[in-house]
Structure 1
């Protein structure tokens, strides 16, 4: 570890996977590495991201481009020879993570014996279902976990039309929630602060007595923000408009519950409205939704456009009147983040990853409670949302993540000073 400074303050990032060329988990790992480097350059500490070896190789090259290589010193953990097969099969990534986690704890303990670690922040994997290595560090280090978690409202699966697949998904979510409450309580014992992806995850940690706040893990690239700014801002639908154009975007899987939107199209108040569904089933799985469209007799007003380029998704968002996102479980909805940036009003269920993103965006939308739900309420929500102002949210930027790192570091320094005076 001779590439880590021999003295001075260091901030550790636990970033199992990080890659500037990718989105989702690995993209978030790189984003936190980059913004932590910006804060380090300003405040005079060194960032030490601990990640898998292939991520470290890619990140080191990117740090040179941003002039951050003097402030960020990645440590790549190589897989033991007998476990290297885990690196080549995406289905085994979770097992690879567990091997990495075991070895990362040794690396962090070694760093702690040689350096003053003010802050240790776990950023990927973004799940409460797996342990974080930063919990092995002593209380002299301020230990932060997140944003993490994927949860929601399992009662969304009880809303008609109920299918065998939605019943199975509800069982999966209930079992996952049961396990999450138990393992997260144990894994968070050595954590000082938790960032939750949505309000349901936050509520779980509050019940455990943990310090926690919601921070949806959503960011829009510069390219997407530019594409959105080039789109004209349409007027809201008129109050008495006969028909509205409804949009749904995402994987065509039971967890998204797009069948609820299809059923709503049978309501007489939407007889002149259209529903456009953007997305495709997961590889190797059939599209079960056309059968539901046929059962409700709304085939002339429901259109499947398949998987399309992101720029075309944004155009659909800009021309439609309302986005419906009835997903029962997720972390933080990137689709809703994009929708709020475009300004299309959103209809979703409360206490979900979609509602947390909508809340944070400041954009227009309607949240439905499952405890008071009926199909008439959904149609009323769609019609109401379509008339709301088109407010384009500007919160989904890298600066938001940098502010989180800046605040976490300030809290870590303040606690160290307080402890030194006590």
Structure 2
């Protein structure tokens, strides 16, 4: 990432050169990698972006508070850049925001959504850095600003007098702030050419801000923390825990930065149920559950979503309308060319499979021990421990009495079968054995 020092080298103890990424390269690449699974869920016209290359195009401007709201010449670019405000005005209740209170209020007082309350008073949040996205017409639509004097002042004010830690603490905080803002860039879904739900607002939705700031801190911690000396780790931990609502939660998420791909997915369809799911995972120390809450089902504008009771359903975007089996199934697959999607119910002694159609009806009842994909309207199925075959309307086309220990799905009208002697053969779509079970393995 290109760094432009608009302070003209005034803070050499904070910033050691133009390549800020190199000393954290491995950790940074791990975090970059987390966004690729998000792209696979939401590809833009089938095209996946090179995330690392996109992030690399975002310039970092090192500035001072005296430059706020002024145009400053950028060396080497032959242009000027407007330095934004270094403070953010927020409602007082945000600085004391309680996610549980919000959830309870959301449930009991639909008319009084605390996200929409008009603030009675404002408090000022000092910004040490900010990630900005404007529009495609801007010469530099995405950019990061870092206020060097504020970082230096914070280090001076929060380092024990008489120690020599001010310089290293300031440099540590600088690295942390930079990667916090890069974290926001990674969570900018429009960076990938994908747009979030029109109902969501960064400026008014406290729950969104609560979660995003926590993840940004978690990302920054996951990149820089392990590279620090013990005194610097203590300094950064104290800084994070002192930041207040949302930000401080990032300390608990430092080992879960790879889950940002799910937060990216969630931003596209942000709603109350998903917010509750995430916060429940945090409160119960089950962050590892968050990555399972959203998945593609291979149908335009449809997503499978898991609720707080670990049940899946399908919703439509951007309307967020419940489509199929909401809060019913334990797993979803993808819709095939027949308009069927395999679903699963978890039983105490195994699994049961079936298929739903695009009208939300169980076209294949969830009663099979196993199902394969349909080929030419039929598929191998297993029921009550025995194999047979069914068609798209759940009619039995091969009785469930085939004398085999295992059967694979049809390919080109053939299916491989294994007998009790662990030997493989081949049957046709009528269940007739056309290759004897004399082989150690068969690939169709």
Check whether TM > 0.5. Answer: no
Pairwise TM-score range, normalised by the shorter structure: under 0.3
Q: TM-score, normalization: structure 2? A: 0.21
Greater length-normalized contact order (CA 8 Å, ≥ 6 residues apart): 1
More helix, by proportion: 1
Structure with the greater alpha carbon radius of gyration: 2
